[in-house]
Amino acid sequence: MTKTTPATAFLKRKNVTFETLVYDYDPSVSKLGVHAAAGVGESTDYVFKTLMAEVDGKPVCVVIPVARELSMKKLAAAFSGKSAKMMKPADAERITGFRVGGISPFGQRKQVSTALAREALELPYILTNGGGRGIQVKLAVADALEAMGGGTADLLASAD
């Protein structure tokens, strides 16, 4: 039995069907999302990372595939802004109520505008952080979008 996190409690309150998967979190790895995918035995195509950023100084949340990079230009455009930057880890922890490495798009302390990478629409389900280090939640893309209260957007840097 996995302990309840603010994210899983939020999903339960919203009556969202999800599965919780746990893995051994290792903070020393360079790509935590890729490590999470391997830890739960899923392709990196299905595992998404939660990033906290700022667009024109306002906090936003984006959820993108773990093996891909975020385009700051596309991020700003997705939220009708002029400039975007990654949020400082301490600010992300304060706003979300989660620790870096365990930030979930669900059940954040402060609701902020959220966008899911449009590539998710091609998938039957995604996995994203379940509100704790070493915890992933697996849910249908439509359910994830509804629970996030956001939309989809073109967010990814071009793959080389």
pLDDT by residue (tens digit) across 33-70? Answer: 888 888 888 999 999 999 999 999 999 999 999 999 99
H helical segments located in 56-100: 72-78, 89-96
Q: What's residue 33's pLDDT?
A: 80
Whether the pLDDT of residue 1 is over 60: the answer is no
> Residues 24-43: pLDDT tens digits?
887 777 777 888 888 888 99
Q: What is the mean pLDDT of the chain?
A: 92
The topology (CATH level 3) of 18-153 is YbaK protein (3.90.960)
Dihedral, CA atoms, 44, 108, 72, 155, nearest 10 degrees?
50
81 touches 55 (CB < 8 A)? yes
Q: What's residue 2's pLDDT?
A: 61
Structure tokens at 81: 């802004």
Neighbours of 79 (CB within 10 A): 18
DSSP characters for 94-123?
HHHSS-TTS--SSS-SS--EEEEEGGGGGS
By CB atoms closer than 10 A (0-12, 13-18, 19+), residue 110 is exposed
Q: What's residue 89's pLDDT?
A: 95
> Residues 72-130: pLDDT tens digits?
999 999 999 999 999 999 999 999 999 999 999 999 999 899 999 999 999 999 999 99
Does the pTM surpass 0.75? The reply is yes
Cα 14–Cα 116–Cα 21 angle in degrees, nearest 5: 60
The secondary structure element, H or E, covering residue 37 is helix 32-40
> Distance between CA 81 and CA 116 in Å, rounded?
17
Whether the pLDDT of residue 160 is over 70: the answer is no
